[in-house]
Amino acid sequence: MLRCRNFLSKATRKKNLKAKTKARNKTSSRRKRESIPKHQHLHEDQEMEDSEEEAEGFSLKASAPSHNYEVQPLGNLYLNPGSINSRNTGLGNLQTLSDELILDILGLLDGTHLGVLAAVSKSFCVFANHEPLWRNLVLDNLNGGFLFNGSWKSTYVGPFYPSFDIACMGASNVKVRDFYSDYLFQSWLCANLDMKPEWLERDNIVRKKGISVEEFVLNFEEPNKPVLLEGCMDNWAALQKWDRNYLLKVCGDVKFAVGPVEMRLEEYFRYADQVREERPLYLFDPKFAEKIPILGSDFEVPIYFREDLFSVLGNERPDYRWIIIGPAGSGSSFHIDPNSTSAWNAVIKGSKKWILFPPDVIPPGVHPSPDGAEVACPVSIIEWFMNFYDATKNWKKRPIECLCKAGEVIFVPNGWWHLVINLEESVAITQNYVSRRNLLNVLEFLKRPNASELVSGTQDRVNLHDKFRNAMEAAFPGTTNQLVQKAEEKKAQQKKLSFWDSVTDSHAGAFKFSF
């Protein structure tokens, strides 16, 4: 659960402070203030704002709207002993249920019944108008054929009830007071928080420019370490061409994968320009180059990643390259790339914040299942930053972090956990690949007993291992066996003990004898 106690009161104080400052400045322009210099007033105003910033530690985006129904975090209730939580009075006997459970139940209803329920009480009005409920209805029922209309509820109601006056649905028609709920507050908070400067300061990744392929393999790919590469996409036509106008022109009415639906690029940009939510939809399409061949010709694989052994499968290879487009705040929560592959990600427009943990370090707040088939983590990326980021500062194995800007490429080694958030509207290309350095890891992954659950990007999950190994043998005879032999020799060498290792008890610091 998001720790948002007492946040709304601070954010409200800040907004009120700015409003009062603005009003005072307007009033002062009509008064004679000869006795106090103007710059002194401005200095006092700035000090007040600075003190508020320091007190709260977080700041809302400049364009952040107030919560539709003035929902406040539960901590504010404890600061107002005389207040009664109107959430409970409006729910009746259902007040004992958690907010999460109530929303789960409401998620079983259709739009008509949600609308009826919203008229029962102010509490039900707040719950039934929770935007994620309407988002799910749109994505489940409109199959991508929608034009976002300012809110998910308006987007849903418009096509189904064309004669309905959507303007009447505004929250301003319903006044709700003293409604306290951490769970309902968190979506608004995470959608409207700015990234704190200290979340962006750490940049400890190794950066390289103009290195040879041999140096990349020796220092990064073989030891499985991330690196940010500069200058290796300078010749891409995409860097100069891929603005909105160009993409809209060449893509036309072609639809791209956006979460669970498909949308035309024009529809997606309309959504991205209007939406303000904690988990914005992400355009993430694996077939973009087949759909729009000219896009595939506007870039080329950087020289470091051109050995791609999955290519021996031809059309049967798993999904491996994607175009990625998203607004500020969109991104990917912690995950490991599919099928034990390594990856590269090239930013064409915008910028991204990356956080990476090595395979043996599970990020805080992330809970993978024992078989690796599922991962439980915070609902949104901002929520992870608020609750867990600071804790990593004191870890012995700190994460690798960086800002990846347009024209830069990051290498993500296999098995590394990583989180990515767009700091502005961004366009990128990413590709997963298999080289000789990673071939055995991939084959082992594809052969796991639960491969049918773990393998992704292909319909034939169970047989992918055999198909890949056979195709490798046909294309590169003996290569797999040679790599297996080298791996076994290396493993044996690591286990081999020196004389002193064999006679010294490393735990007790004394000699040991065995006969």
Characterize 47-71 residue by residue with b for buried, 16 or more Cβ atoms within 10 angstroms of its Cβ, and e for exposed: eeeeebeeebebbbeeebeebbbeb
Characterize 466-501 residue by residue with b for buried, 16 or more Cβ atoms within 10 angstroms of its Cβ, and e for exposed: ebbeebbeeeeeeebeebeeeeeeeeeeeeeeeeee
* Higher local confidence (pLDDT), 59 or 338: 338
**pLDDT of 436 over the 60 cut:** yes
pLDDT bucket at 118, cuts 50 / 70 / 90 = very high
Amino acid of residue 4: C
Tokens found for residue 461 = 């999950």
Mean pLDDT of 44-54: 40
Q: Is 505 left (phi over 0), alpha (psi -120 to 50) or beta?
A: beta
Least confident of 17-31, 59-73, 193-207: 17-31
**pLDDT of 199 over the 50 cut:** yes
Tokens found for residue 299 = 């870039």
* Higher local confidence (pLDDT), 450 or 5: 450
Mean pLDDT of 191-208: 93
What is the model's pLDDT at position 170? 56
What is the model's pLDDT at position 12? 44
What is the model's pLDDT at position 61? 72
What is the model's pLDDT at position 400? 96
pLDDT bucket at 64, cuts 50 / 70 / 90 = low
pLDDT digits (tens, 9 = 90+) for 361-381: 999 999 998 877 788 887 789
Handedness of CA 478, 482, 484, 485 (dihedral sign): positive
This prediction has a pTM of 0.83
Helices H, strands E: what count in the chain?
A: 23, 17
373 closest CA partner among 441, 439, 451:
451
Q: Which residue has the tokens 């006679």?
A: 503
**pLDDT of 22 over the 80 cut:** no
Query: If you average pLDDT over every residue of the chain, what do you get?
Result: 84
Phi, psi of 325 (to 5 degrees): -135, 135
CA of residue 408 relative to chain centroid, distance: 19
**pLDDT of 19 over the 50 cut:** no
Amino acid of residue 352: K
Do residues 334 and 418 make contact, with C-beta atoms less than 8 angstroms apart?
yes
**pLDDT of 477 over the 70 cut:** yes
Count CB atoms within 10 A of the CB of residue 459: 7
pLDDT digits (tens, 9 = 90+) for 383-392: 999 999 998 9
Question: How far is it, in rounded angstroms, from Cα 505 to Cα 512?
Answer: 6
pLDDT digits (tens, 9 = 90+) for 65-113: 666 788 999 989 988 888 899 999 999 999 999 999 999 999 999 999 9
